A = this chain, B = another copy of it.
């Protein structure tokens, strides 16, 4: 029987994740579904947006576990709410930034992040430091396009990603690039083609959601999960203003 993996997009904007994309992520082993939030921001481009997204993410994780999911993935490259979700869930929860940084470190030598906005440089520096792979990150480079405009001009977006990928390889010493926004999902092939067209060969392009789904399936197969020793269940305590399943609220 297939195991269910739930993608949780930390935003309230429908349609960013196409049904066919989710279907593509499913296979003989796992069945992937996706939800957005009931409360939160239209998109996540910084820490303020994250702040408004995280309570909704936590609730969606609890809900997914109650609905029989075997794992959850937070569908955003700042991994908003990863630690909080890991505390409340018994099933494993993954963040695509953490997972794809470690995947890239395993298959390549130095990776670069292709961010959508320059303001994410300090974000990815901080995440790489926290996740212990700062020494493997060659650089963070940005195409400077807001998340909600990513779909407006696909040609320009892809061109920008290819240009930044080439700079990452030639200036910063990267051999692997990670798409730095889950809104870029599905573009890895086009970036690879664009690089090949520019004779920049053999650069690995990592799609963070695709690789996180595959990684999660592997962890499930091994009977592992995130450490409940580190991310132990929160104590029951008074909560005001949030309705969290299984927790008393006012």
Contact indicator per residue, chain A 185-204, by CB within 8 Å of chain B (1) or not (0): 00000000000000001111
A158 within 8 A of B: no
A175 within 8 A of B: yes
> Given the complex, which residues of B lie within 8 Å of A37, measured CB to CB?
240
Interface contact A230-B28, CB-CB below 8 Å: no
Q: How many angstroms from the CA of A3 to the CA of B80 in the assembled complex?
A: 34
Sorting the interface of chain A by its residue count into under 10, 10 to 19, 20 to 34 or 35 or more gives: 35 or more
A87 within 8 A of B: yes
Interface contact B84-A234, CB-CB below 8 Å: no
Interface contact A228-B211, CB-CB below 8 Å: no
Interface contact B102-A125, CB-CB below 8 Å: no
Known A-B contacts A129-B135, A229-B201, A230-B122; A87 and B47 likewise in contact (beta carbons under 8 Å) = yes
Q: How many angstroms from the CA of A215 to the CA of B122 in the assembled complex?
A: 23
Which residue from B50, B98, B121, B217 sits with its C-beta under 8 Å from A218?
B217
Q: How many angstroms from the CA of A87 to the CA of B49 in the assembled complex?
A: 10
A235 within 8 A of B: yes
Near B by CB (< 8 A), chain A positions 189-239 give 201-204, 206-207, 210-211, 214-215, 217-219, 221-222, 224-232, 234-235, 237-239
A15-23, A54-62, A159-167: which lies at the interface: A54-62
Q: How many angstroms from the CA of A166 to the CA of B215 in the assembled complex?
A: 28
Which residue from B222, B234, B241, B244 sits with its C-beta under 8 Å from A211?
B222
Supplied contacts A38-B240, A148-B237, A214-B222, 13 more A-B pairs, CB within 8 Å:
A12-B239, A28-B28, A39-B241, A40-B242, A52-B241, A56-B241, A107-B219, A108-B226, A108-B229, A122-B175, A133-B133, A211-B224, A214-B221
